[in-house]
Amino acid sequence: MSSHSHYLRGIVGLLPAAVVILSLVVFGCGSSEESMEEWESAPAVSASSILEYRVDSLQNENRRMREQLDAVAAENRNLTARNAEVETKLAEAMAAPKVEAPVAVSGASGYESAMSKFNARDYEGAIAGYEALLNAGIEEGLADNCRYWIGESHYGLRQYSEALKNFQMVSEFKRSGKKADAVFMIGNCQSALGNKAAAKEAYEKVVSDFPTSPLVEKARAKLSKMN
């Protein structure tokens, strides 16, 4: 081995001792460990940390606002779907051939009249219109809708017991496009009447029995508030 290599090895061997001496000079003797511990444990609040906290707060608020907007959009879609359903049934009722065509047309126009009263929040007038259609023997395809909107009208008048009866009748139809809506409104009526357990059961039924309904998310939201 050359003398040059021996020289390098000697320098490398002195490095740990030099590091120790430098540490003693910088931190002092005796209390160096305590000083380091105090320095390491001291909380440091920097401007960047405050800025990150504010950014996180704004992001959380923005997320909550987006969730609220999504809920409003879902409600609008639900209302649009309901109107489209009614319009489709009315078009089918008016287009389908019937033995008593004049009566069918009269029934369709009476349904539209009752619907207009409901939309104008003339709930008593709407109830009277829908009841007249049911008493006149309106076709089964619209009977469930009449019964449902009677329930909605009573609910609008805060007559929750009467509303509950009509929604339960809709839920008992063998075939109805308003079953999911009726079960959800049963939950609302039971909640308004103070029957928390029955309301929870209705909302859970919406989730389990009508998984494709746009009301599932609303039912889950109701359940989350009840837990």
What are the extents of the domains in the chain?
A: 69-226
pLDDT, average across residues 90-118: 62
Distance between CA atoms of residues 151 and 126, nearest Å: 10
Distance between CA atoms of residues 117 and 69, nearest Å: 29
Percentage above 90 pLDDT, the chain: 45
**pLDDT score for 43:** 55
Its pTM stands at 0.54
**pLDDT score for 171:** 94
Q: Assign a CATH topology to domain 69-226.
A: 1.25.40
**pLDDT score for 50:** 79
Residues 6+ apart with CB under 8 A from 110: 129, 132, 133, 136, 138
